[in-house]
Structure 1
Amino acid sequence: MLAFSLLGISAYSQVDPYLWLEEIESDQSMEWVRAQNVKTTAVMEKEPGFGTLKASFLNAMNDTEKIDYPSVVKDMVYNFWKDETHVRGIWRRTSKVLYMQNKCEWETILDLDALSEKDNKKWVFHGASWLEPNFDRCLISLSNGGTDEDIVREFDVVKKEFVAGGFELPTSKGGAVWLNENEIIVARNFGDGSMTTSGYPRIVKRLKRGQKLEDAVVIREAPEDVMGLWPGSSYIDGKRQITLYEAQSFYSHDLYYWNDNKLLLLELPKDSEMQEIYAGMLLIRLNSDWEVSGTTFKSGDLVSVNEAQLIKGKLDVRLAFRPDAKTSVEGVSATKDGVLLNTIYNVNSVLYRLNYVSNTWESSEVETPKLGQISIIEADRKESGYFYQYSNFITPPTVYFKDGQNTTIVRQGKKKFNADDLEVHQYEVKSKDGTTVPYFMVHKKGMELDEHNPTLVYAYGGFNVSITPSYDVRTGIGWLDQGGVYVIANIRGGGEFGPAWHQAAMKEKRQNAYDDFYSVCEDLIRRKVTSPEHLGAFGWSNGGLMAGVVATQRPDLFNAVIIGAPLLDMQRFNKLLAGASWMGEYGDPDLEEDWAYIQKYSPYHNVHAGKKYPEVFIITSTKDDRVHPAHARKMAARMMEQGHP
């Protein structure tokens, strides 16, 4: 890691005294980390009520009265379960009949606590890839400590044991899918030169049972400067289709079909997203306009592409769904009777059913609870019924099973905090450039507009990710129960209003997201909900970058800022772990024209001695192999050097 981290930085090393903190687990770095943790813990433990609050969090997280989410395989329901007894978790199953009756007789398939003790690892379950159509074996992915890297091992679900001499892949980022019972398609770290500059695989191989990984046959080798190459697999109507997804960036990719040892590049827009396959058609979400035979399909549209014609090099494209200005397409799932389309309208979920009738797509809204977040938990193209979940800020998750007009509540989440005296409102405010930005506010009923309400504002604002109303136990216990006001700002960069909303904060337009956030905060102050003395900001990952930016750009607005798993050194983000894969979002800091706008907001380069900043709490994980912990470490070190709290 050291060789990778220090590649090409000799010029910059003269002005950055904290490059050594990029050495993730060196003795010097870890000694520094432990020292900061001791200081931080001491400060937190002095806070009144800290012990009580910590106990409340632990009780909520270990509560066995939680939802056992279903993953349906044939007539069985599988579930991964963690509690105080099963800290690392167990993979278990029961019959679908008993699950629907809430009379589960769970049978443990794999005990990760026992396996972790046996292997002397801290295994985290990353899921299973099933061998269809028999579903008697799967490829299980396990991560040591929760990193993105994992191992892959073949598992026999009938015997409930790993297959002796079966498929076993070493620790790596990548993926593996079944070709048949004796062959798998794999993307891994195959050694020197096999990974991209983003740290993802660039080679996909066909591996036979009993064959050494180095002897597997190469299917595709991508250039080193792409983001990554991953295999996929579908099994529809008795036919298995292998796909290869070759990403040039987060927002540009090539999609290949692999059949009979031949690769076929599908002639689809590079920035489109394949959502589902249904009735011989690929369902594609567009992120830019696409003209086909004189017809222009719009950015944000969901279109269908005839698969058989596409393979022949011809395009038969139909409009499946066109969202309006306040609607975005979030997800697509196939069922026996049609396609489920999960959308967002004005930052609340709306579910539709699509049917293909007489060469035309027809849509009808599905009756579901309103003003909240809906997610499809389980849908099967061979079944008409499906499971979905609904929640909002004050309503715990509820799992429904819907089949035709019949809807059954299958599971009801337990209330973990007092929501009876809470109310929710949605407001809008004009941003700096006149764009209307919505935000949600949750608070106690009868709240006085006296400028003294402790208020925490959260946002993400990137990567086309939509933030919708959901039930957050930690926020409920740790903030709302304590009398705080909680605000979610749906700033640009997210996907709440389709591709244009996201694209309005990409690269040189990134400042729009931060201006949106300031507009929301200033509106709260203008409406006398709070004041800078009582206002805090919070963000995680890309939202952690946002939190770092607002703390350094507008310290006058906030009294405290929580900066979680952040990007902060935006001059070196593309050289740290998966950072190069995010240049499609932020730009390339090695290009003079891109660094010209990036440096204006890079928190690590815009914190200065002698300037007053809000108190910050910076959080990271040594095991984070996606966002490098050095971002948080270096920012903390620089702020302490400058004498900031």
Structure 2
Amino acid sequence: MLGSKMNVILRAVTFVALTTAALAATLPPPPATPSEPTSDVVQGVNVADPYRWLEDWSNPKVQAWSEAQNKRTRAYLDGLRSQRPVSDELMRLVSATSPAFFDLKPRGPVVFATYSDPKLQQPVIVTMNAAADPATKKVVLDPNALDASGHIAVDWYVPSHDGSKIAASLSKDGSEDGTLHVFDVATGKEIDTPIPRVQYPTAGGSLAWAPDGKGFWYTRYPGPDAPEADRHFNMQVYFHVLGSDAAKDELVLSTKDGLERVSEIFLDNEQNLPTVLARVQKGDGGIWAHYVLTRGKPSVRIGRHEDEIVYAAFGPNGAVYGVSRKGASNGFVVKLDKIAPDGFAAAKVLVPQTDVAIQTTNESGLSFSKDRLFVNDIVGGPNQVRIFTLDGKPEGKLPLPEIAANHEIVELADGRILFGVTTYLRPYFYDSWDPKTGKVEETALKVVSPVKFDDATVTRVFATSKDGTKVPLNIIMKKGTKLDGNNPTLLYGYGGYGVSQNPNFLGALRRLWLDAGGIYVIANIRGGSEYGEKWHQDGMLTKKQNVFDDFYAAGQYLIDNKYTSHTKLALMGGSNGGLLMGAEITQHPDLAHAVVSAVGIYDMVRVELDPNGSFNTTEFGTVKNPDQFKALYAYSPLHHVVAKTAYPAVLMTTGATDGRVNPMHSRKFTAALQAASSSGLPILLRTNMHAGHGIGSSLSDRIAEQTDMLCFLFDQLGMEWHK
């Protein structure tokens, strides 16, 4: 897509003044980091790798080095006078926020939901009545009861169609390494033997119930008998009968059916049909095939890669609806009335392409009621939702605010449509739409937060990138802010995998940022799908440099237009956005004064050697391809650190159990920057030993990380925070 709660005694006035110079003087030097004459020849190029030894986490020297880095980082962060008051305020604001319901799943007489209560370390699974009245909430699965420390998380859950059972993947310490458990909803008791290896960060995991609720299709990775190198690849689909031995489960979709080593499988039977749709992505690059699975029959592949169907789902009428991008960057909707091999190749167009893109990455793009189709579009960042009959007749749009995002659309038993909405300035809420009357009402399913942004404005402007492309920026600042070039400004970006930066509620962290005099900016750079698949493709593979150019242009726009200055600008990003941070640090070390980079990728030459890195090659490319290697090596942050360069202050964060991005990237990049920087500004590495990529982290871990990030930035930009 964040910690533990404490009751905080409200103080009449809290004043935090930050003095960077005094703290920098007390910061101990980095631990000694030997460099070794290690190198590889790749595509005829000698690639130096002096910190290769930091890759081996089993090496006690690496663990000791990481612990020493953590101690140094804590010495800096814990020495900041802002640390306690910022932590207390974040906890106060989170504690005073109402619980949130999301991921609604109507089943039989109840509606299931994920329920996030600020008093709990982890979200829980609950039911409500058929009208989705939050007052009828009942807890079904509480991972906090399994581990009070908050280190067990629900990766995903799927209720049976009659609402009597749920299947859920549970994992520990943010690892996303999930085991499947099945629970009886009425009693809360586990009713089947757990099945391991159903979920991992490389390809995720999925499940779809049979209509009778006596079994389900599910994904599973190879067992302990498989070679170590294969255990997080080669996902396959099995059918399990409740009460039977999982070791004897029927294999229903495998390499014999065309699955690949890096296949990612998503199973769908939301319509409670005797057949299941399997959406199969080749790695992470948006290349899809589609299969229909029926018990006792061979699988039927209805869509191949070349059909360019990027999303598909069964409709309530038994037809298969798909979003095609064949010759159409923005996508169009097709309908397949009859299940047949390669049927999508001849599917009829139901909703033609328009000048806006159908969103298929962050959300499904298609949702259904019993007699309607909802098409979710993305318009440069914000969303719109078009309404059609199942035969494609247009019926207008759902009423959304002007700059908003929609994340869910579900039909209740009485025919009302619930749709989730969020904006930059308002937290998540659900409206209901009555198709019979057209009446729209706000429901009781809404988040009430003490965090208010009545004093803030949202402005969309456009920066011009190196090649002339116009890049949207969403600027959030207090009303009346003077554009004198003296405002601390935090610029956030991602730019990859077709993941778009939709409007989302700013929350406690960004409230504190504005209160300290800051401006917050989100850049809709290429690599996402804000303007369709072309916007994504222009920021992937050999065109990845466009992403970095867009972000640099965004930062320069803010400086040129007096929002901020080089000495008052900070950058933030995580994961693929961490790669973005690494590229900006090495390509434009003078752009910003401070950078926060979380769980980032920095060694583009060796990233594909990790399990999840192999899935990333469809997005980044591979060093095995000469042209792609040339592009990868040209921007790989680790390989462009230059000695005696004045690098900005950097806080890098990583998690020891991260299965998506190997923490070695953060270790090696930290070592390189620490050895090279001549600025005297801190280069810090923060490793959480009980967290992974951030998904499934406990509430206390998330609050602690947010506190560290804010305090680091406040200190480096000389900001004062008043409460």
Q: Report how far residue 195 of structure 1 moved.
A: 8.6
Residues in 2 aligned to 1:204 and 1:194: alpha-carbon distance in whole angstroms: 19
Q: Report how far residue 326 of structure 1 moved.
A: 7.2
Match status 1:35 vs 2:35 = no
Q: How does 1:338-417 map to 2 (within 5 A)?
A: 338-357=372-391, 360-376=392-408, 378-379=410-411, 384-404=415-435, 405-410=438-443, 411-417=445-451
CA contact (8 A) 1:131 1:181 kept: yes
Q: How does 1:520-539 map to 2 (within 5 A)?
A: 520-539=554-573
Pick aligned residue for 1:430 from 464, 468, 486:
464
CA contact (8 A) 1:536 1:561 kept: yes
Residues in 2 aligned to 1:459 and 1:197: alpha-carbon distance in whole angstroms: 33
Higher share of residues assigned strand? 1
CA contact (8 A) 1:549 1:603 kept: yes
Q: Report how far residue 383 of structure 1 moved.
A: 6.0
CA contact (8 A) 1:464 1:495 kept: yes
One-letter amino acid of the counterpart of residue 333, structure 2: V
Residue 584 to residue 194, structure 1, CA distance change in 2 (3 Å): same
Output the TM-score relative to the length of structure 2. 0.79
Q: Which residue is equivalent to 1:168?
A: 195
Residue 424 to residue 182, structure 1, CA distance change in 2 (3 Å): closer
Pick aligned residue for 1:256 from 279, 286, 291:
291
One-letter amino acid of the counterpart of residue 435, structure 1: T
Count of residues in correspondence between the two structures: 620
Q: Report how far residue 427 of structure 1 moved.
A: 0.6
Q: Which residue is equivalent to 2:643?
A: 609
Residue 513 to residue 379, structure 1, CA distance change in 2 (3 Å): farther
Q: Which residue is equivalent to 1:504?
A: 538
CA contact (8 A) 1:443 1:484 kept: yes
Residues in 1 aligned to 2:542 and 2:628: alpha-carbon distance in whole angstroms: 7
Q: Deviations over 1:288-330 (max 9, x none)?
A: 31xxxxxxxx332222222316458572412314220577566
Residues in 2 aligned to 1:588 and 1:609: alpha-carbon distance in whole angstroms: 28
Match status 1:274 vs 2:311 = yes
Residues in 1 aligned to 2:229 and 2:265: alpha-carbon distance in whole angstroms: 12
Match status 1:177 vs 2:177 = no
Q: Which residue is equivalent to 1:3?
A: none
Q: Report how far residue 624 of structure 1 moved.
A: 1.4
Q: Deviations over 1:242-273 (max 9, x none)?
A: 53626365322322222333121114545322
* SS of residue in 2 equivalent to 1:299: coil
Residues in 2 aligned to 1:229 and 1:326: alpha-carbon distance in whole angstroms: 24
Residue 188 to residue 502, structure 1, CA distance change in 2 (3 Å): same
CA contact (8 A) 1:154 1:168 kept: no
Q: Which residue is equivalent to 2:698?
A: none
Pick aligned residue for 1:288 from 306, 326, 342:
326
Residue 486 to residue 158, structure 1, CA distance change in 2 (3 Å): same
* SS of residue in 2 equivalent to 1:251: coil
Q: Report how far residue 601 of structure 1 moved.
A: 0.7
Q: Which residue is equivalent to 1:589?
A: 623
Q: Report how far residue 363 of structure 1 moved.
A: 4.6
Residues in 2 aligned to 1:391 and 1:28: alpha-carbon distance in whole angstroms: 47
Q: Report how far residue 64 of structure 1 moved.
A: 5.1
Residues in 2 aligned to 1:376 and 1:157: alpha-carbon distance in whole angstroms: 23
Q: Which residue is equivalent to 2:503?
A: 469
Q: How does 1:441-460 map to 2 (within 5 A)?
A: 441-460=475-494
Q: Report how far residue 500 of structure 1 moved.
A: 0.8
Residues in 2 aligned to 1:418 and 1:94: alpha-carbon distance in whole angstroms: 28
Residues in 2 aligned to 1:244 and 1:556: alpha-carbon distance in whole angstroms: 45
Q: How does 1:221-236 map to 2 (within 5 A)?
A: 221-222=254-255, 226-230=261-265, 232-234=267-269, 236=271
Match status 1:247 vs 2:282 = yes
CA contact (8 A) 2:40 2:48 kept: no
CA contact (8 A) 1:67 1:412 kept: yes
One-letter amino acid of the counterpart of residue 109, structure 1: V
* SS of residue in 1 equivalent to 2:504: coil
Q: Report how far residue 9 of structure 1 moved.
A: 9.0
Pick aligned residue for 1:153 from 181, 194, 210:
181
Residues in 2 aligned to 1:389 and 1:231: alpha-carbon distance in whole angstroms: 23
One-letter amino acid of the counterpart of residue 169, structure 1: P
Match status 1:127 vs 2:181 = no
Q: Deviations over 1:362-401 (max 9, x none)?
A: 2522223222222225346x76322222222222322212
Residues in 2 aligned to 1:511 and 1:66: alpha-carbon distance in whole angstroms: 41
Pick aligned residue for 1:598 from 611, 626, 632:
632
Q: Deviations over 1:27-70 (max 9, x none)?
A: 43333222222211221223332211111122233335233345
Q: Which residue is equivalent to 2:33?
A: none
Output the TM-score relative to the length of structure 1. 0.88
Residues in 2 aligned to 1:198 and 1:444: alpha-carbon distance in whole angstroms: 51
Residue 76 to residue 319, structure 1, CA distance change in 2 (3 Å): closer
CA contact (8 A) 1:455 1:535 kept: yes
Residues in 2 aligned to 1:75 and 1:183: alpha-carbon distance in whole angstroms: 20
Pick aligned residue for 2:164 from 121, 136, 146:
136
Q: Report how far residue 605 of structure 1 moved.
A: 0.6
One-letter amino acid of the counterpart of residue 301, structure 1: G
Q: Deviations over 1:423-452 (max 9, x none)?
A: 111111221111111111111222222211
Q: Which residue is equivalent to 2:474?
A: 440
One-letter amino acid of the counterpart of residue 138, structure 1: I
Q: Which residue is equivalent to 2:705?
A: none
Residues in 2 aligned to 1:240 and 1:225: alpha-carbon distance in whole angstroms: 22
Q: Which residue is equivalent to 1:300?
A: 330
Q: Which residue is equivalent to 2:147?
A: 116
One-letter amino acid of the counterpart of residue 135, structure 1: G
Pick aligned residue for 1:65 from 98, 108, 111:
98
One-letter amino acid of the counterpart of residue 649, structure 2: E
Q: Which residue is equivalent to 2:110?
A: 76
Residue 187 to residue 356, structure 1, CA distance change in 2 (3 Å): closer
Residue 370 to residue 172, structure 1, CA distance change in 2 (3 Å): closer
Q: Report how far residue 480 of structure 1 moved.
A: 1.4
CA contact (8 A) 2:283 2:614 kept: no
Residues in 1 aligned to 2:457 and 2:611: alpha-carbon distance in whole angstroms: 42
CA contact (8 A) 1:196 1:225 kept: no
One-letter amino acid of the counterpart of residue 178, structure 2: D
Residues in 2 aligned to 1:441 and 1:553: alpha-carbon distance in whole angstroms: 24
* SS of residue in 2 equivalent to 1:638: helix
More off after superposition, 621-630 vs 201-210 = 201-210
Match status 1:568 vs 2:596 = no
One-letter amino acid of the counterpart of residue 157, structure 2: A
Residues in 1 aligned to 2:231 and 2:527: alpha-carbon distance in whole angstroms: 22
Pick aligned residue for 1:265 from 294, 301, 325:
301
CA contact (8 A) 2:303 2:342 kept: no
CA contact (8 A) 1:267 1:310 kept: no
One-letter amino acid of the counterpart of residue 497, structure 1: Y
Residue 90 to residue 226, structure 1, CA distance change in 2 (3 Å): closer
One-letter amino acid of the counterpart of residue 394, structure 1: L
Residues in 2 aligned to 1:605 and 1:61: alpha-carbon distance in whole angstroms: 40
CA contact (8 A) 2:307 2:324 kept: no
Residues in 1 aligned to 2:259 and 2:78: alpha-carbon distance in whole angstroms: 48
One-letter amino acid of the counterpart of residue 252, structure 1: I
* SS of residue in 2 equivalent to 1:600: helix
CA contact (8 A) 2:233 2:261 kept: no
Between the two structures, name the one with larger relative contact order (CA 8 Å, sep ≥ 6): 2
Residue 121 to residue 20, structure 1, CA distance change in 2 (3 Å): farther
Q: Deviations over 1:586-609 (max 9, x none)?
A: 110233321111111110111121
Residues in 2 aligned to 1:284 and 1:196: alpha-carbon distance in whole angstroms: 35
Q: Deviations over 1:491-529 (max 9, x none)?
A: 111110001111111111111111111112111111111
Q: Deviations over 1:199-231 (max 9, x none)?
A: 333333334445444433333332796312536
Q: Report how far residue 77 of structure 1 moved.
A: 3.3
One-letter amino acid of the counterpart of residue 67, structure 1: A
* SS of residue in 2 equivalent to 1:599: helix
